[in-house]
Amino acid sequence: MKTPSPFSRANRRSKWIAASLLLPSFLSQAEAQTPEDTGRDIAVEADRRARGYHDFTARLTMVLRNRDGKEKTRELRVMGLETADGDRTLVVFDFPRDLQGTALLTISRIGESDDQWLYLPALKRVKRIAASNQSGSFMGSEFAYEDIGSQEPGRFAYRYLGEELVDGRGSFVVERTPLDSRSGYSRQVVWLDKREYRPLRIDYYDRENERLKTLMMNGYALYADEYWRPSEMVMTNDRNGKSTTLRWSRYEFDTGLEEGDFTRTSMERVRP
């Protein structure tokens, strides 16, 4: 039997209305705040708007492109769940055949490092991804394991940098610095559109503070009248010329997933 969602539609709607009424006040006070306070307020608001879905499923096409333009395609399923102490995500490969059944489970806890496990069906083995290794490449892509993990506001220090246009959209520019010293990044610069607080671009800087890669998010669509999600995410490595494109489709929300669907044992039970 499905557990009643703590994120009821009525509660979500009332919170949205309350936040909308407060938004003009927030913007008018931004100049009086420190850049750190303003940056954090923007991040918290963006996180609030992205939440409340309880759970979701989606399909994902991953295209790996090398510097010569040659491509490899992978097909995946993604499942996500919100819990009181953090989010859970399960990513499962369906194609190509040699990766079929490979799964990544991420369990996020507020104020702590992510727990991540990789299931390798050929070895029938679940491998833990150590926190010190989460800056490594996820399955040969330009996304790191930590990029797939939680991006909740408590994991960063923030600084508001100003406003710029991104593809004609007025955007806040916010710098965020990972608080975990094991992160592969010294800082990240995020552009969020001013109307919906959707991330449009993220620049990632390595531990030497040199720009390493850029993520662009395009084709946003509104699901269930509440949740904006991009249809395409393109991560480009500025060093090696490689890129990884994620194309999202078949989003469904509030499908009845529970915590038992996001365990090490459940990773081994997934089927195409």
Task: Tell me which CATH code domain 9-267 carries.
Answer: 2.50.20.10
Instruction: Round the average pLDDT of the chain to a whole number and report it.
Output: 89
More confident residue, 177 or 11: 177
Q: pLDDT tens for residues 64-117?
A: 999 999 999 999 999 999 988 889 999 999 999 999 999 999 999 877 789 999
Q: What is the pLDDT of residues 45-72, one digit of tens each?
A: 999 999 999 999 999 999 999 999 999 9
Residue 168 has pLDDT above 50, yes or no: yes
SS (H, E, C) 213-259: EEEEEECCEEECCCEEECCEEEEEECCCCCEEEEEEEEEEECCCCCH
Confidence of residue 9 (pLDDT cuts 50, 70, 90): very low
pLDDT at 17: 43
Q: Where are the alpha helices (DSSP H) in the chain?
A: 9-29, 35-50, 145-148, 264-267
The amino acid sitting at 198 is: R
Residue (of 28, 37, 59, 180) closest to 113 by Cα position:
180
Q: Where along the chain do its domains lie?
A: 9-267
> pTM, whole model, 2 decimals?
0.86
174: pLDDT confidence band, cut at 50, 70 and 90?
very high
Any idea which of 3-12, 152-161, 192-201, 238-247 has the lowest mean pLDDT?
3-12
pLDDT at 23 over 80: no
